[in-house]
Structure 1
Amino acid sequence: MPLKIWNSMMTTHSPVTAALPANPNKALWEKGDFTRIAACMRESGEELIASLEVTPGMEILDLGCGDGTTALPAARLGANVLGVDIAANLVAAGNARAGQAGLHNLRFQEGDASCLGDVADESVDLVVSIFGAMFAPKPLDVAREMVRVVRPGGRIVMGNWIPRDPTLVAQILRISAAYTPPPPEGFVSPVTWGVEATVRERFEAAGIRPDDISCKPAPYYFRHPGPPVEMLGLFRDYYGPTMNAFEAASRAGNADALQAELAALFESQNKGGADDTVIAATYLRVIVTKA
């Protein structure tokens, strides 16, 4: 890893992992194995990065990076990339993927999107967070932290699932929520990041001018070389929110009903064949430019 990225992006504080605030999402995302879901998302991740005009030497922070669905393509284009995720297992998986790919300009470490204490002010050209930072608690803090670390003229690019959207992931989250206990008092739904007015409010509160915020829906494709029910099995067994839903449904004797409802969703949205799953999920693509 070139020294430039670590000298410019990191402060002299202790490592992020030493002082993480309590975050209930840590247990959620470490519970399953999101790498199994991410395998269905690689192609769209590469396409998204290709659209962002990433250039060699660019300093990129991938926030809520998982095991590198967008971080690896950015590093392959020559950017210096730091991936930060709340889940230790995904950080380990990302570092393993970077090592296997020989990407010395890419590193993953544990951290919280709402408290990036070790990332220096105005040290990043681009923050990417695709279905990552939206799940962090304290969304106003998340917006402030992303704005803080971006240099003037730099960008923040988020991908956020949209509430009540009829496509796959929003419906998975909606169906799963119906089978799980209500969230604790004060809980802010992650999909509020998929509401343009809310996104604008959060970034304007962090000092961004209204004209420097752009939001538009875009498709993200999930691909699996097998039937839809097989891809559903990956979500049931490895995706934290659906795992929790199935556990709660099993306790209530409703697991079969949950399975049937999700199976119907996956089948109806599949645009591939009987043994080839291709499902589009609509998300809100947010681009913020820091003046």
Structure 2
Amino acid sequence: MNPNKALWEKGDFTRIAASMRESGDELVEKLGIKKGMKVLDLGCGDGTTAVPEAKRGADVLGVDIARNLVEAGNKRAREMGLANLKFEEGDATDLKPLKDKSFDLVVSIFGAMFAPKPFDVAKEMVRVTKPGGKIVMGNWIPNDPTLVAQILKISGAYTPPPPEGFVSPMLWGVETNVVERFVQAGVKKENVSCVRDTFRFKNSRPPSAFVDDFKTYYGPTMNAFEAAEQSGRSVELKKELDKLFESQNTSPAKSETSIAATYLRVTVNVG
């Protein structure tokens, strides 16, 4: 099995995605969605941004490598009566079934960044975008002091080193890398822009309980705990993550969690 597929089908990412809905909707509000626009949401999970895109009248295709998330997304679309939204399995490095120049907007928020072969990912996103269309990515930033970069950094200290040739997904959070990848895909350098933005995680339980969600349902953290268990360090890992979540929680009610995470919002204008 594709290791990425195994990673994202592990656990149940919908449990983490539930804490991301509000920020997902706020992000989509910035995208200028118009009724009838054709939108591809890549690495879409169960629809944190795909659902609000469809609610604003776009015809949306969500593509994700994880079958369980595709099934969860289609269930959400049915329950909400969104006939203009469908989810399919697919690989961001090879979108072969999708025709050239078929989408007005390609969106990937913390999705395609995790696919291997980043140059192939950029090439495929550009290929399926109509001339005059746009690509918008949200990518976590390496070594950023805020939540997600720190979760991945802490987890990485407990897991075996990645295989030779592995390209860190976090490099999508470095502007020079982003520009290089899209330029190689045929986009002019001046048509790629990056700004720092904020995504907020909200959970109705205290930080330590929210950490338990990551431990139980989020593939990378699950892997870290499995490795830590083997080396007798799982209690240490839990303490580190509890400390991180508690220190970054800004909810006035300490029985709830509200944590902001900085990310790189990339906009690519496709000529």
Band of TM-score, shorter chain: over 0.9
Secondary structure of 2:144 counterpart = coil
The reply to whether residue 257 of structure 1 matches residue 232 of structure 2 is: no
Tell me what 1:207 maps to. 186
Distance in 1 of aligned mates of 2:164 and 2:217: 27
The reply to whether residue 91 of structure 1 matches residue 103 of structure 2 is: no
Aligned counterpart in structure 1 of residue 8 of structure 2, from 29, 34, 39: 29
Tell me what 2:263 maps to. 283
Paired amino acid for 1:190 = P
Tell me what 2:164 maps to. 185
Distance in 2 of aligned mates of 1:197 and 1:23: 28
C-alpha contact 1:75 1:106 (8 A) present in aligned 2: yes
What is the Cα deviation at residue 24 of structure 1? 1.3
Secondary structure of 1:41 counterpart = helix
What is the Cα deviation at residue 276 of structure 1? 1.5
Distance in 2 of aligned mates of 1:170 and 1:96: 30
Distance in 2 of aligned mates of 1:265 and 1:82: 36
The C-alpha deviation readout for 1:197-231, integer Å capped at 9, x for no partner, is: 00000000001111100001110000001101111
Distance in 1 of aligned mates of 2:144 and 2:196: 10
Tell me what 1:117 maps to. 96
Secondary structure of 1:39 counterpart = helix
Moved over 4 A (4+): none
The reply to whether residue 217 of structure 1 matches residue 196 of structure 2 is: yes
Secondary structure of 2:215 counterpart = helix
Consecutive unaligned residues in structure 2, runs of 5 or more: none
The C-alpha deviation readout for 1:230-257, integer Å capped at 9, x for no partner, is: 1111111000000000000000000000
C-alpha contact 1:162 1:283 (8 A) present in aligned 2: yes
Aligned counterpart in structure 2 of residue 170 of structure 1, from 144, 149, 160: 149
TM-score of the two chains, using structure 1 as the length reference = 0.92
Distance in 2 of aligned mates of 1:234 and 1:171: 16
Distance in 1 of aligned mates of 2:254 and 2:32: 36
What is the Cα deviation at residue 123 of structure 1? 0.5
Distance in 2 of aligned mates of 1:290 and 1:230: 43
Say what the alpha-carbon RMSD is for the aligned residues.
0.6
Secondary structure of 1:262 counterpart = helix
Q: How does 1:44-83 map to 2 (within 5 A)?
A: 44-83=23-62
Aligned pairs, how many? Answer: 270
Paired amino acid for 2:163 = P
C-alpha contact 1:23 1:137 (8 A) present in aligned 2: no
What is the Cα deviation at residue 23 of structure 1? 2.7
Tell me what 1:16 maps to. none
Distance in 1 of aligned mates of 2:27 and 2:132: 20
Distance in 2 of aligned mates of 1:233 and 1:259: 9
Tell me what 1:266 maps to. 245
Consecutive unaligned residues in structure 1, runs of 5 or more: 1-21
Paired amino acid for 1:211 = E
Distance in 2 of aligned mates of 1:269 and 1:281: 9
What is the Cα deviation at residue 178 of structure 1? 0.3
Paired amino acid for 2:148 = V
Tell me what 2:117 maps to. 138
Paired amino acid for 2:93 = S
Tell me what 1:233 maps to. 212
Distance in 2 of aligned mates of 1:239 and 1:281: 17
